[in-house]
Amino acid sequence: MFQNPSTLWIEILVIVLVVAFLAFLIIRYIYRKKKGLPTGECACCASTKKGNKLVKSYNKKYHSDCCCCKEE
Protein backbone atom coordinates (compact mmCIF):
# COMPACT_ATOMS: atom_id res chain seq x y z
CA MET A 1 0.00 0.00 0.00
CA PHE A 2 2.70 2.50 0.98
CA GLN A 3 5.82 2.96 -1.07
CA ASN A 4 9.30 3.63 0.10
CA PRO A 5 9.78 7.45 0.12
CA SER A 6 13.11 7.14 -1.68
CA THR A 7 11.49 5.53 -4.75
CA LEU A 8 8.51 7.88 -4.79
CA TRP A 9 10.57 10.89 -5.92
CA ILE A 10 12.10 8.81 -8.72
CA GLU A 11 8.65 7.96 -10.05
CA ILE A 12 7.58 11.60 -9.84
CA LEU A 13 10.75 12.67 -11.65
CA VAL A 14 10.15 10.15 -14.44
CA ILE A 15 6.57 11.32 -14.90
CA VAL A 16 7.65 14.98 -15.01
CA LEU A 17 10.39 14.24 -17.57
CA VAL A 18 8.03 12.27 -19.82
CA VAL A 19 5.43 15.03 -19.73
CA ALA A 20 8.09 17.65 -20.48
CA PHE A 21 9.38 15.62 -23.43
CA LEU A 22 5.90 15.17 -24.90
CA ALA A 23 5.16 18.88 -24.44
CA PHE A 24 8.42 19.69 -26.25
CA LEU A 25 7.43 17.50 -29.20
CA ILE A 26 3.98 19.07 -29.47
CA ILE A 27 5.32 22.63 -29.18
CA ARG A 28 8.01 21.93 -31.80
CA TYR A 29 5.38 20.52 -34.19
CA ILE A 30 3.14 23.56 -33.74
CA TYR A 31 6.10 25.92 -34.21
CA ARG A 32 7.14 24.20 -37.44
CA LYS A 33 3.58 24.30 -38.77
CA LYS A 34 3.20 27.97 -37.95
CA LYS A 35 6.57 29.00 -39.46
CA GLY A 36 6.08 26.85 -42.57
CA LEU A 37 9.04 24.58 -41.87
CA PRO A 38 8.93 20.95 -43.04
CA THR A 39 7.41 18.65 -40.45
CA GLY A 40 8.05 15.35 -42.25
CA GLU A 41 4.39 14.59 -42.88
CA CYS A 42 4.56 14.31 -46.64
CA ALA A 43 6.68 12.04 -48.83
CA CYS A 44 8.80 14.86 -50.24
CA CYS A 45 9.94 15.88 -46.75
CA ALA A 46 10.45 12.34 -45.52
CA SER A 47 12.65 11.40 -48.45
CA THR A 48 15.02 14.31 -47.85
CA LYS A 49 15.49 13.47 -44.18
CA LYS A 50 17.05 10.08 -44.93
CA GLY A 51 20.39 11.67 -45.80
CA ASN A 52 20.77 10.51 -49.39
CA LYS A 53 22.79 13.21 -51.12
CA LEU A 54 21.47 12.36 -54.60
CA VAL A 55 17.83 12.57 -53.48
CA LYS A 56 18.46 15.87 -51.70
CA SER A 57 20.07 17.45 -54.75
CA TYR A 58 17.27 16.18 -57.02
CA ASN A 59 14.54 17.53 -54.74
CA LYS A 60 16.36 20.84 -54.40
CA LYS A 61 16.58 21.22 -58.16
CA TYR A 62 13.20 19.91 -59.32
CA HIS A 63 10.88 19.89 -56.29
CA SER A 64 11.74 23.00 -54.35
CA ASP A 65 8.17 23.55 -53.25
CA CYS A 66 7.08 21.11 -50.60
CA CYS A 67 3.38 20.51 -49.99
CA CYS A 68 3.70 20.82 -46.21
CA CYS A 69 5.97 23.87 -46.37
CA LYS A 70 3.66 26.07 -48.43
CA GLU A 71 2.39 29.17 -46.73
CA GLU A 72 -1.32 29.63 -46.92
pLDDT digit string, tens, across residues 58-71: 767 776 556 555 54
pTM for the predicted model, two decimal places: 0.56
Q: Give the total number of structural domains in the chain.
A: 2
Are 28 and 4 contained in the same domain?
yes
Between 26 and 38, residue with greater pLDDT: 26
Are 58 and 31 contained in the same domain?
no
Domain of 47 in residue numbering reads as 40-72
Residue 48 has pLDDT above 90, yes or no: no
- Round the average pLDDT of the chain to a whole number and report it: 75
Are 7 and 24 contained in the same domain?
yes
Are 30 and 3 contained in the same domain?
yes
Alpha-carbon distance of 51 to 41, in angstroms, equals: 17
Alpha-carbon distance of 17 to 68, in angstroms, equals: 30
Alpha-carbon distance of 16 to 22, in angstroms, equals: 10
**Cβ-Cβ contacts under 8 Å for 66 (sequence gap 6 or more):** 38, 42, 44, 45
Are 6 and 30 contained in the same domain?
yes
32-49 average pLDDT score: 68
Q: Give the pLDDT of residue 69.
A: 54
Are 48 and 64 contained in the same domain?
yes
